[in-house]
Amino acid sequence: MAKMHKNELEIDELLVHALLKNQCPHWANLPLKTILSSGTDNALFRLGNEYVVRLPRIDWATESINKEYEWIPKIAEFMKTPLSEPVFKGRPDKSYPWSWIVAKWNEGHNPHYEHENEYELLAKDLACFLNELHGIGLPKGPSSRRGISLKERDVETQKAIGELERDIDVSSVTSLWNQLSNTPSWNKEPVWVHGDFLPGNILVQNNRLSAVIDFSDVGIGDPACDLIIAWSLFKPHSIKIFRNNLEHIDNDTWERGRGWALSIALIMLPYYKYSNPTLASLARQMIENVLGGLGAGSK
């Protein structure tokens, strides 16, 4: 895979095998296979039948390792859906500079964008997952970088808009962003959020949710950021089912969710336009959906 970031590390099976041999030799003889993924921050390797090894490719992805190792097992106790639950945290050594984790393997595949209303049940599954996650009573959690006010995204979002003059209708996008970013802020207690609730972090089997993975942005904050799945996965019929099955999500929170979907897509598109076609295509779809009014308006 082409490099997606400056200063990205080269990570291969030889390196991972050496780390396993040195730090958890009881797993060193299990089969090891690279997992091809559209993910950007971590290299993934299947370890035997039960585990996945995840290693940050870039320095900013390292901050989540300790957080996930501490909090995901605690969160998993409250959830019916299987999570990518870490079982071992590796330490840096001379061959690799950061911490890394071994997590439980979850069966399933990432869902494609909906074709013809095949996600009615998946829409309910995802709403139920968020209802559970947002309702967890687990105190003293870390803040999520995505649980913040949309106003704090304005500079970065406007910069991305300026880089996309040949790709988007700048006037319409700017007007919509200004509208959505001025939606009243979350004024309740912060809740637990996934923080990066996109199709690449969801696993399905037979169009039903089977697991949720990659909790790099987990923490507490405004739940609006988790609504981005609506504009990255669903057609109008399923997005309505998703919204109708959400609890404690008022109209302002839904509108901030639209704002998050637009902001994330706008920032993602210029960054990954040439290095990650899958994410670039997803970003274009999300911009088109939000700009086209998908899911707009009151419940």
pLDDT in tens, 278-297: 999 999 999 999 999 999 98
Distances in Å between the Cα of 7 and the Cα atoms of 54, 59, 91, 175, 253 are: 18, 8, 20, 36, 37
Using the predicted structure, report yes or no on whether residue 298 has a pLDDT greater than 70: no
- For the chain, what is the largest distance between any 2 Cα atoms, rounded to a whole number of angstroms? 58
pLDDT at 217: 96
Q: How many CA atoms lie within 13 A of 221 on its CB side?
A: 22
Query: Can you tell me the distance from the alpha carbon of 85 to that of 73, in angstroms, rounded to the nearest whole number?
Result: 6
pLDDT at 1: 46
Using the predicted structure, report yes or no on whether residue 3 has a pLDDT greater than 70: no
Pairing of strands 42-47, 51-56: antiparallel
pLDDT at 38: 57
Tell me the percentage of the chain whose pLDDT exceeds 70.
97
Using the predicted structure, report yes or no on whether residue 185 has a pLDDT greater than 50: yes
In the chain, which ranges are E strands?
Answer: 32-34, 42-47, 51-56, 86-90, 100-104, 191-193, 202-205, 208-212, 219-221
Q: What is the CATH architecture of 13-104?
A: 2-Layer Sandwich (3.30)
Using the predicted structure, report yes or no on whether residue 61 has a pLDDT greater than 90: no
Angle, helix 154-162 to helix 251-272, in steps of 10 degrees: 50
Q: How many CA atoms lie within 13 A of 53 on its CB side?
A: 29
Using the predicted structure, report yes or no on whether residue 108 has a pLDDT greater than 50: yes
Q: Which of 122, 97, 259, 76 is nearest to 182 (CA)?
A: 259
- Topology of domain 120-291 in CATH is Aminoglycoside 3'-phosphotransferase; Chain: A, domain 2 (3.90.1200)
| Mean pLDDT on 119-132 | 98
| Mean pLDDT on 165-188 | 97
Q: Is the dihedral of CA 157, 163, 165, 167 positive or negative?
A: negative
Angle, helix 277-291 to helix 170-181, in steps of 10 degrees: 70
Distances in Å between the Cα of 86 and the Cα atoms of 13, 67, 74, 105, 109 are: 20, 11, 11, 10, 19
Q: Where are the domains of the chain?
A: 13-104, 120-291
Other CB atoms within 10 A of residue 103 CB: 24
pLDDT at 6: 61
Whole-structure pTM value: 0.94
Of 264 and 248, the one with more pLDDT? 264
- Evaluate whether 13-104 and 120-291 have a shared fold: no
